[in-house]
Every structure is written in structure tokens, then in C-alpha cells.
Amino acid sequence: MAVTGVIRPGYVQLRVLDLEEAIEHYRDRIGLNLVSREGDRAFFQAFDEFDRHSIILREADHPGMDVMGFKVAKDTDLDHFAERLLDMGVHVDVLPEGEDPGVGRKIRFKLPTQHVFELYSEMELSQTGPAISDPDVWVVEPRGMRVTRFDHCALNGVDIAASAKILVDALDFSITEELVDEASGGRMAIFLSCSNKAHDVAFLGAPEDGKIHHTSFNLESWHDVGHAADIISRYDISLDIGPTRHGITRGQTIYFFDPSGNRNETFSGGYFYYPDNPRRTWKAENAGKAVFYYEKALNDRFMTVNT
């Protein structure tokens, strides 16, 4: 499969209440490498990522997400996608090289759910990224939960169908799976991929726009999800639910919270997606099994807590 255009999630910038406390959580517990600190922000990279950073934390007076960035294959793609977004009536800002350290020029736009997205094509390589000559499986032994990469975000908002439509029509994302209220025809959750993963971003219906449900990190195996649970228990990290498995995406998962209340997920597995695959659809009456395949029920906290 030739991956062109938008190729993958690149970074997310999260707001945290106490930067020092957050650094300890994301570096020592999740296992990210602290790349640099720039004013009120800290930049991190997972051990199996080539680019300079994927997680940015910004100290603020309330938690949540500032922006999610996706990498495109080449610089001219930025102009191409800017034109297509403008044709759909979406305002686009062009940001110069260097707004974030090590990152080239970007375009920025806002979706109907009020989430801010950026596209970029160039980022410096990480000094602690994977080896490329006779490479061992890692350069420095992973720590904490041993996450391999930033995987995806799930975002909350009202008109999630309108946001998904922009990603599909302007940026060539595919809808891989969705949860539908058959009585009304409304879509309760939409999962989208720009690659061959089960999802690279998800939208979950909610009564308020601009919220983030969770930031997800990839793990190598179901065993590593269990190891993450050991870390959560050992360091008294606030647990949401899991270890368990999703029906949607089939991924193995555990959810927990950072010290500021942002929900994190460590995620393993999930099916491979190809553009010729039929769309998978779940009925509202089976929402519990769709989200938590073993428990077959949703908990209130998972449905109502976001930042």
C-alpha cells in the first residue's frame, strides 16, 4: 500500500496544570524521552519514533488539547490540502518554519467540533530515535510502560459527522468503523484512518465541543498492556478501566489519567485497514460491547469525563 498525502499522526499538544508533575508522569511512567523544554512547554519522543517529538505539554490553568498535528508526505501537499480545505469553506492559516522547534512550515485549521488540526511535512530527526545501521530492537532500554509511539487521539464534540466529512473529503481519510443510532441515523462515534491502522483519530459524540477524550500510545503486545497495569498500580496512577479489549478496532487497552486529569490510553493490536475494506458498523444497542468487548457495558466515567 502506497501511503501518500496525509501519512500519520505526528504530534499532539496537551495542556497540563503542573509541568514538573506532568514531566514525571510522561517520562518516567509512560516512558517517553524528554527532548527539550522551551518556556512553558516540554517536548517528548517515544523510543521507536524517528522524528524529534510527538508529545508536547504546555502548562496552563486548565487541562485539554491545544492542537493535533498530522504529517504529510511532501511540502507541496500542504498547498494542495490548503486549497481543498478552502474549497470546503474551512479557514486555513499558514505558519512559518520554526514555530515549534525542529518543525517546518505548517497549515492550521479548525474543525466544526472546534478542534485545531495542523499539517506539516518536515521535522528534524530525533537524536535518540531507532538505529538504522545493523539496528538492535532499541538503542536505550525502554522504561516505564515502554510505549513505542504516539498512536491516536479520540476527540469529543457535537457535530462529529461534519468534522469527519472534512477529513474524508479534503484530506482523504477513510472511515473504518462507526457506532450508529439506527433510530435517528445519528453517528455516536466515528473512527478514521489515513494509513492502514484501524484508526488514527476518532470522534465521539458529546454535548460540548473542543474536548479531548484520550491520547493513546502504542504498545508491542497484550503482555505490555498488563505491564502498564502493573505500573499504574505500583505508582497509584488514577485508573479509568482495563486491562480489557475493544470490539471496535479489536485493540487491547487500558485507560488511566495523567496528574492533570487528561485521559491516557496504552493500546496494542487492532486490525489492519485497507481502503477496499467494507466499513464496520455497530448499533447503539451494542455500544457496550463495541467499546468494552469483555464487560459489554460502558461506565459513566468513560462516557462523561473529558478535558
Catalytic residue among 53, 227, 246, 273: 246
Catalytic residue among 11, 26, 120, 255: 255
Catalytic residue among 178, 214, 227, 273: 214
Q: What distance lies between CA 101 and its chain's CA centroid?
A: 20
> Which residue in the block uniquely carries the three cell numbers 498547498?
79
Active-site annotation holds for 152: yes
Active-site annotation holds for 62: no
CA distance 306 to 261: 8
Three-class SS of the chain = CCCCCEEEEEEEEEEECCHHHHHHHHHHHCCCEEEEEECCEEEEECCCCCECCCEEEEECCCCEEEEEEEEECCCHHHHHHHHHHHHCCCCEEEECCCCCCCECCEEEEECCCCCEEEEECCECECCCCCCCCCCCCCCCCCCCCCCCEEEEEEEEECCHHHHHHHHHHHHCCEEEEEEECCCCCCEEEEEEECCCCCCCEEEEECCCCCEEEEEEEECCCHHHHHHHHHHHHHCCCCEEEEEEECCCCCEEEEEEECCCCCEEEEEEECCCCCCCCCCEEEEHHHHHHHHCCCCCCCCHHHHHCCC
Query: What count of Cα atoms within 13 Å lies in the side-chain half-sphere of residue 149?
Result: 17
Catalytic residue among 115, 199, 213, 227: 199
CA distance 40 to 115: 21
Active-site annotation holds for 294: no
Active-site annotation holds for 199: yes
The set of cell numbers assigned to 266 is: 496504552
Catalytic (active-site) positions:
152, 199, 214, 246, 255, 265
